[in-house]
Homo-oligomer: A and B are copies of this chain.
């Protein structure tokens, strides 16, 4: 009997106990006179997480997919030209959404394991003399392949080209885990969800947009209601919502933000890098490689690990789940059967990851991989023990 299933998928992530406690509560009246005492600080504090002073945050009772749709349908018009690169399941889905929503979607297809092709984008933007491209879409962290892209570099490319396109970023698996600087990088929209770095259950799409995006919003004619910025802005300013909000998650978000700020955002990023680096050293010790093709693309929130020839990565994940009580991410679409993923974001520490690495070694071995027990664990330990006390230091 498994009394506990370790959660090492790249979201949903583990809920810290203070957040879990904060959500163990009765329903409340979302029109109560004192409800804004909860909500107004949330909007303010989310901006700190997105690192924007001039932007605006929105909270939808939805998922990250809803967040993508909210941004696109509120700021563009059908037929608008958008530029996007695909190099994993989630960038693929976002590009697919663009097509389905009727945009003129320019897709740069890249091998899975690479990131946003900044130079290719620079060329395209440079050639777009009439500025037909209305928006450039970039997946900051591709959850399917464990690839983090260079968003600051993308901004520089846009600036170098003198291109006025809006810059939209999918930060679902990076926000609150990997540094993302909305104002500094000139991002016009960042999409996130509650179930990743925010360490909450699924159910909130959390979005931030720039004033430039809000300007674009005023000329957007997309049919929309549920996701409309205008309804949100009209009611949010007083601390209310156009329809019943998910109050349980809002209470949880308060607790989550308190934890993030108590630790310090920069410490949060450092902790994620520290934990991720241990996992990567384990992968190397196993003689395996990451799906991410270059170190510059290594993600600090998820590692997609290529299994040896002859091993079925889906089987590895199933073995880990059924026999050892650990959930890993499976390979999706093009990398199905070829990679399994260890999520290392949110509320985690070194011993939890050592246990996950140990389980991965056993599951890999069970499925035919030649893995020396303890080899990856030892490599991670060497990293974890050599560093100053990162997770505890922030306590």
- Chain A residues close to B by CB (< 8 Å): 1-7, 9, 11-17, 20-33, 61-66, 68-69, 73, 78, 96-97, 100-102, 193, 195, 199, 201-203, 222-228, 242-249, 259, 262-263, 267, 271, 318, 321-327, 329-330, 346-356, 358-359, 361-362, 365-366, 372-375, 377-382, 384-385, 389, 391-392, 394-395
Contacts and interface: CB of A to CB of B under 8 A. Distances in A.
Given A7-B27, A68-B225, A354-B354, 9 more contacts: A4-B16, A14-B27, A33-B318, A61-B66, A96-B225, A203-B249, A226-B227, A324-B384, A358-B380
Nearest to A31: B330
20 contacts: A1-B263, A1-B267, A3-B259, A4-B347, A7-B27, A12-B247, A14-B27, A15-B26, A32-B327, A33-B321, A61-B63, A62-B62, A101-B223, A201-B249, A202-B246, A325-B391, A326-B351, A365-B385, A373-B378, A374-B377
Contacts of A245: 63, 202
A389 B351 contact: no
Contacts of A30: 12, 202
A50 B215 CA distance: 43
A262 B1 contact: yes
A193 B244 contact: yes
A138 to B, nearest CB: 19
A62 B65 contact: no
- Count copies of this chain in the complex: 4
A373 B30 CA distance: 29
Given A1-B259, A102-B223, A378-B373, A244 B28 contact: no
Given A5-B28, A14-B3, A24-B20, A373 B377 contact: yes
A192 to B, nearest CB: 13
A195 B7 contact: no
A219 to B, nearest CB: 16
A214 to B, nearest CB: 19
Contacts of A27: 7, 12-15, 195, 201
Contacts of A222: 223
A16 B374 CA distance: 28
Contacts of A321: 29, 32-33
A105 B98 CA distance: 28
A345 to B, nearest CB: 12
Contacts of A26: 7, 14-15, 17, 20
Most chain B CB inside 10 Å of its own CB: which residue of A193, A248, A263, A353 = A248
A285 B62 CA distance: 44
A226 B355 contact: no
A366 to B, nearest CB: 6
Contacts of A322: 33, 389, 392
A286 to B, nearest CB: 12
A224 B102 CA distance: 9
B61 A202 contact: yes
B31 A329 contact: yes
Contact of A354 (B73, B249, B377): B377
A129 B327 CA distance: 59
Given A223-B78, A225-B97, A358 B354 contact: yes
Contacts of A349: 2-4, 324-325
Nearest to A248: B201
A12 to B, nearest CB: 4
A81 B227 CA distance: 23
